[in-house]
């Protein structure tokens, strides 16, 4: 059995705990659990000395994704070029291989020349994620962007968040059909309604794991997949190891198509 690379978004440990301990405090936990990649979260606070953070991550043999809450296009349809350049600089300082952002208000027929220039041969590759918003979480707008980017030769890939499609009532399998060719990173989370009737991220059920298996068999073989669901337990090391091992096994080659669980999730 092939074990595939797993990332952990540090938001999985809860914002309060991560802010209290600092993101660097989780490096050993992730490395000991067999994780290949740490996903740093800009919104959870980062140390002033990002070079030291980068060295600590590298010392444990981890790769790095830098997640920024940046929306590429502002509400008025303008590219947030200066904010993107700042995020690129922070990601590079942290030793990240990838910078993950959201699409924002991408206008149709947008000239991508400025984005092309900003990315150029920058060492940190840009990934655009489907988020939970109307502007950044709908299939059609994302498909327009990635298609235009490919035509324009813009160096950008996709973070495919399995659970986020539910916030905009989008079909997961329609999203895979339209966007699967661009996927370079997969975020995994279960989604349920809480007592207040709001969608929230949850650890996976068996149904979720079966669904994720189908997703991972429909994108690039061995694609990096991330835990982005609550990792909360008295024994964080144990729960982390257990969930990492389960996720690493998903996406094995198969000879015949699996039955889809539910096309609209």
Distances in whole angstroms, Cα of residue 58 to Cα of each of 34, 125, 140, 180: 14, 18, 38, 30
Task: For residue 236, give both structure tokens.
Answer: 């964080």
CA angle at residue 70 from 66 to 75, to 5 degrees? Answer: 165
Taking a C-beta distance cutoff of 8 angstroms, is the pair 228, 201 a contact? yes
Domain ranges within the chain, ordered by starting residue: 6-249
Per-residue pLDDT of 18-43, as tens digits, reads 999 999 999 999 999 999 999 999 99
Taking a C-beta distance cutoff of 8 angstroms, is the pair 159, 184 a contact? yes
Task: For residue 98, give both structure tokens.
Answer: 């990838």
The pLDDT of residue 110: 87
Task: For residue 114, give both structure tokens.
Answer: 């400025």
Residue among 152, 70, 84, 89 nearest 118 (CA): 84
* 265 — pLDDT class (breaks 50, 70, 90): very low
Q: Are strands 37-41 and 6-9 parallel, antiparallel or unpaired?
A: parallel
φ, ψ of residue 157 in degrees (nearest 5): -120, -175
Q: The domain 6-249: what is its CATH number?
A: 3.20.20.150
Per-residue pLDDT of 8-20, as tens digits, reads 999 999 999 999 9
Distances in whole angstroms, Cα of residue 44 to Cα of each of 21, 69, 109: 11, 11, 35
Per-residue pLDDT of 84-133, as tens digits, reads 999 999 999 999 999 999 999 999 888 899 999 999 989 999 999 999 99
Spatial distance between the Cα atoms of 177 and 207, rounded to a whole number of angstroms: 21
The pLDDT of residue 108: 84
Spatial distance between the Cα atoms of 109 and 111, rounded to a whole number of angstroms: 6
Spatial distance between the Cα atoms of 246 and 56, rounded to a whole number of angstroms: 26
Residue among 172, 31, 156, 166 nearest 100 (CA): 156
Rg (CA), the chain: 18
Distances in whole angstroms, Cα of residue 19 to Cα of each of 66, 72, 76: 16, 26, 33
Per-residue pLDDT of 192-251, as tens digits, reads 999 999 999 999 999 999 999 999 999 999 999 999 999 999 999 999 999 999 999 998
């Amino acid at each position: 059995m092939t074990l595939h690379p797993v990332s952990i978004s540090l938001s999985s440990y809860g914002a309060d705990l991560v802010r209290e301990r600092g993101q660097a405090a989780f490096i050993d936990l992730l490395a000991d659990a067999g994780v290949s990649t740490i996903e740093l979260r800009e919104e959870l606070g980062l140390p002033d000395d990002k070079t030291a953070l980068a060295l600590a991550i590298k010392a444990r043999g981890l790769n790095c994704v830098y997640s920024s809450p940046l929306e590429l296009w502002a509400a008025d349809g303008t590219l947030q070029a200066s904010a993107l350049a700042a995020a690129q600089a922070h990601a590079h300082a942290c030793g990240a291989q990838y910078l993950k952002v959201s699409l924002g208000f991408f206008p149709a027929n947008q000239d991508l020349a400025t984005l092309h220039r900003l990315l150029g041969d920058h060492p940190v590759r840009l990934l655009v994620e489907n988020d939970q918003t109307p502007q950044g979480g709908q299939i059609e707008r994302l498909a327009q962007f990635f298609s235009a980017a490919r035509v324009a030769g813009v160096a950008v890939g996709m973070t495919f968040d399995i659970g986020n499609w539910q916030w905009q009532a989008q079909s997961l399998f329609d999203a895979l059909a339209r966007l699967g060719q661009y996927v370079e990173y997969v975020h995994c989370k279960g989604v349920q309604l809480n007592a207040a009737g709001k969608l929230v991220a949850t650890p996976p059920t068996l149904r979720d794991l079966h669904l994720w298996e189908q997703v991972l068999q429909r994108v690039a073989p061995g694609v990096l997949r991330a835990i982005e669901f609550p990792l909360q337990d008295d024994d964080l090391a144990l729960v982390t190891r257990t969930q990492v091992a389960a996720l690493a096994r998903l996406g094995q080659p198969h000879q015949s198509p699996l039955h889809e669980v539910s096309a609209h999730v």
